[in-house]
Amino acid sequence: MTIDNIFENKKLKQTTARKELLEVLIHEIKPVSFEDIKEKITMDKATFYRNISKFESEDIVNSFESNDKKRYYEIQSSPHAHFICNSCNYIECLKDSSFVKPDGYIVIDTIFKGICKECDQQNKT
């Protein structure tokens, strides 16, 4: 789906800031915070949060809070889990969705927390 299609399907006004923000988010391979992308965008923090909030309410973007108390954002795609390292705050999208889902529940997001491979190796040396 193209950015133009997103605006058209959601009947959203296509502003320069919104288009710029979607361009950045579409090309990210993992969830990002404002701090992660602020050098890639020309808008101020208030404009970022106003637009990201609109994208969330329109189900264009998903978000979650990490261990570092920052909010991370990604383009909404098929439901998948995330792994967050308790040591270095590394975040990874887990495409294998073979986790157990409780009967009668709709799971939207799952977050696994633990120690990533890098931190585990450092702890062993």
User: What pLDDT is attached to residue 123?
Assistant: 84
Do residues 20 and 43 touch, judged by C-beta distance below 8 A?
A: yes
Domain 3-75 has CATH 1.20.1740.10: no
pLDDT for the residue 97: 63
pLDDT, residue 74, reads: 95
Residues in a beta bridge with 63: 73
Q: Tens digit of pLDDT per residue, the chain (125 long)? A: 789 999 999 999 999 999 999 999 999 999 999 999 999 999 999 999 999 999 999 999 999 999 999 999 999 887 788 999 999 999 999 887 666 778 898 877 789 999 999 999 988 87
- Domains of the chain: which residue ranges? 3-75, 81-124
Under DSSP, the state recorded for 124 is: H
Longest dimension (CA), the chain: 55
DSSP-derived letter for residue 51 is H
Q: Which residues of 16-34 are buried (b: 16+ CB within 10 A; e: fewer)?
A: eebebbbeebeeeeebbbe
User: Are 62 and 109 a contacting pair, CB within 8 Å?
Assistant: yes
